[in-house]
């Protein structure tokens, strides 16, 4: 193995047990991780336990966590109320087969948070939560094509693993980008059922959607695009999307898997005041347990109800799993308290603004793209508002910053330059200040190396 780069040295020195564990497990588990995204060079660390905003790894390092389970842990890890409720539910029973009473209470909270959700069905992951509404939309409209944004990630099913990352030889003009399967094993013909538009670029989006309107069942959108990093909607983009899809009779699906109960209690649809036809939720909605779901306009959701002329299939052994619903319900009740999202945004603002400030003080060019507690740091001297804007960010500098900080006990999120990180209600001012100090040191080194 090549010796670690200077900015990896501290991480490597402090994670000997993780390294040994990785060497062992990768013989049985591809890459030694349980999801491709979890792997990063030179090797990932392994976690023993978590509490509040911290993780403890195999080597006993205490790590300030801004990955937060890749989004769900907005209350921090192991919130006492969630732990208590889950333990009590385990004593009452974990799997009923018949639907549990509490599911109704949960759906009522979701309906109050997002009034566009007139009816709702449970699922177990964000992947399922986007797969089902796409099928419902096809049934409702009698059309087959789906429009999705380039770079956007909606989970691991074949219809949305399209144009997530586009090899340079397949990159087309932004108003004529063909769908390209993301990775091997996806039937090529599925790409024919996709139209690809560029998020945050209204003229090109309008052109793509209008051109394909006759065939489009749905437009699916991450209302804050987190696939490829973090891109916050500009210039009423979502309202324009709403107006156009309505005019053209296309179902508008908000994938609020990441934004739901994070950018506002009522998700991006509350924050940007736009009502989609259907919505997918997961992550925060399950309070750290496997809970997801989708819902929306009654007449569309009724496609699921069995009828003589047929219906849309929706099922799942673990749907509305009582332990997950309990965790989700307890989490949402805590989050629904007045003033919560002011605090969420304040903590997020301290970190994201703080990062911009310390980078500027060190003369390092960064663009921080964030909304509330969700964001990404790009090494660039330009504004980054679209997935294509992020093509020429400096990924080496990002890796340098990320690994330097990780070596000092700060885990800046999903471990890739084209991902994102989060804050939780459990991060204290001291946690944030310390993370900023550590970042400052990384920026100092980066500035020194570039001079
Ligand atoms: C916006 C969005 N949609 C869907 C998914 C898929 O969710 P899951 O990993 O629970 O299948 C993710 C996961 O990161 C996501 O960020």
Q: What is the largest CA-CA distance in the chain?
A: 72
H helices present in 221-297, as ranges? 237-248, 267-271
Instruction: Count how many residues are written for the chain.
Output: 451
Residue-wise pLDDT tens digits, 40-74:
999 999 999 999 999 999 999 999 999 999 999 99
Testing ligand 1's pocket by substitution, the residue of 72, 258, 278, 287 carrying the most ligand atoms inside 8 A of its CB is: 258
- For ligand 1, the distance from its centroid to the CA atom of residue 422, given in whole angstroms, is 15
How far apart CA 268 and CA 279 sit, in angstroms, is 11
Q: Which atom of ligand 1 approaches the CA of 282 most closely?
A: 10
Among 263, 261, 262, 314, smallest CA distance to 119 is for 314
For residue 75, what pLDDT is reported?
A: 98
- For ligand 1, the distance from its centroid to the CA atom of residue 239, given in whole angstroms, is 23
Place of tokens 């065939």: 215
Is 197 an annotated catalytic residue?
Answer: no
Q: What ranges do the domains of the chain cover?
A: 6-77+339-450, 80-335
Indicate the CATH number for domain 6-77+339-450: 3.90.1150.10
Question: What pTM did the predictor assign?
Answer: 0.97
Going 393 to 399 to 400 to 406, the CA torsion angle's sign is positive
Is 283 an annotated catalytic residue?
Answer: yes
Neighbours of 240 (CB within 10 A): 15
For residue 451, what pLDDT is reported?
A: 82
- For ligand 1, the distance from its centroid to the CA atom of residue 309, given in whole angstroms, is 33
How far apart CA 32 and CA 11 sit, in angstroms, is 18
How far apart CA 97 and CA 293 sit, in angstroms, is 17
How far apart CA 187 and CA 95 sit, in angstroms, is 36
H helices present in 336-385, as ranges? 340-361
CA 410 from centre of chain? 20
Strand, helix or coil for residue 313: coil
The active-site residue out of 57, 65, 201, 255 is 255
The active-site residue out of 283, 345, 389, 399 is 283
Q: Which atom of ligand 1 approaches the CA of 35 most closely?
A: 9
**Ligand 1 site: residues with CB under 6 angstroms?**
70, 125-127, 130, 153-155, 222, 226, 255, 257-258, 282
The CATH number of domain 80-335 is 3.40.640.10: yes
Nearest CA owner, ligand 1 atom 4: 154
> What residues contact 6, with CB distance under 8 A and at least 6 apart?
none
In degrees rounded to 5, what are phi and psi of residue 420?
-165, 170
Asked if residues 117 and 260 have their Cβ atoms less than 8 Å apart, the reply is no
Residues in the chain predicted with pLDDT less than 50, given as ranges, are none
Residue-wise pLDDT tens digits, 337-391:
999 999 999 999 999 999 999 999 999 999 999 999 999 999 999 999 999 999 9
How far apart CA 147 and CA 191 sit, in angstroms, is 11
| Antiparallel, parallel or unpaired: β 54-57 and 119-123 | unpaired
Asked if residues 279 and 293 have their Cβ atoms less than 8 Å apart, the reply is no
**Cα dist from 12 to 8, 27, 49, 331, 442, whole Å:** 6, 21, 20, 36, 16
């Amino acid at each position: 193995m090549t010796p670690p780069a200077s900015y990896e040295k501290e991480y490597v020195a402090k994670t000997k047990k993780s390294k040994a564990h990785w060497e062992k497990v990768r013989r049985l588990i591809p890459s030694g991780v349980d999801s491709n995204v979890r792997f990063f060079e030179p090797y990932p660390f392994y976690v023993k336990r978590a509490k509040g905003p911290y993780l403890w790894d195999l080597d006993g390092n205490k790590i300030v966590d801004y990955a937060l389970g890749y989004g769900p842990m907005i209350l921090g890890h192991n919130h006492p109320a969630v732990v208590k409720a889950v333990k009590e539910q385990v004593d009452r029973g974990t799997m009923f087969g018949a639907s549990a009473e509490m599911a109704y209470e949960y759906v009522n909270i979701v309906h109050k948070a997002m009034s566009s959700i007139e009816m709702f069905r449970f699922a177990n992951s964000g992947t399922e939560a986007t797969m089902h509404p796409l099928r419902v939309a096809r049934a409702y409209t009698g059309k087959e094509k789906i429009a999705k944004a380039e770079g956007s990630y909606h989970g691991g099913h074949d219809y949305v693993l399209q144009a997530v990352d586009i090899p340079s030889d397949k990159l087309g003009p932004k108003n004529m980008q063909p769908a390209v399967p993301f990775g091997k094993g996806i039937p090529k013909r599925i790409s024919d059922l996709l139209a690809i538009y560029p998020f945050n670029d209204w003229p090109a989006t309008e052109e793509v959607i209008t051109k394909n309107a006759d065939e489009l069942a749905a437009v699916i959108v991450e209302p804050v695009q987190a696939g490829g990093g973090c891109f916050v909607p500009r210039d009423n983009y979502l309202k324009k999307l709403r107006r156009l899809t309505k005019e053209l009779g296309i179902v508008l699906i908000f994938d609020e898997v990441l934004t739901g109960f994070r950018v506002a209690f009522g998700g991006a649809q509350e924050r940007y005041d736009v009502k989609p036809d259907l919505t997918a939720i997961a992550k925060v909605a399950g309070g750290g347990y496997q809970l997801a779901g989708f819902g929306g306009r009654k007449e569309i959701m009724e496609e699921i109800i069995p009828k003589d002329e047929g219906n849309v299939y929706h099922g799942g052994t673990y749907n509305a799993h009582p332990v997950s619903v309990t965790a989700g319900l307890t989490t949402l009740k805590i989050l629904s308290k007045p003033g919560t999202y002011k605090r969420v945004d304040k903590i997020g603002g301290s970190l994201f603004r703080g990062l911009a400030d310390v980078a500027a003080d060190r003369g390092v060019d960064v663009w921080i793209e964030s909304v509330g507690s969700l964001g990404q740091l790009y090494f660039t001297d330009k504004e980054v508002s679209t997935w294509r804007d992020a093509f020429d960010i400096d990924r080496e500098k990002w890796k340098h910053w990320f690994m330097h900080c990780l070596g000092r006990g700060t885990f800046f999120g999903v471990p890739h330059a084209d991902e994102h990180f989060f804050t939780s209600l459990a991060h204290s001012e001291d946690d944030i200040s310390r993370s900023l100090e550590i970042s400052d040191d990384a920026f100092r080194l980066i500035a020194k190396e570039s001079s």
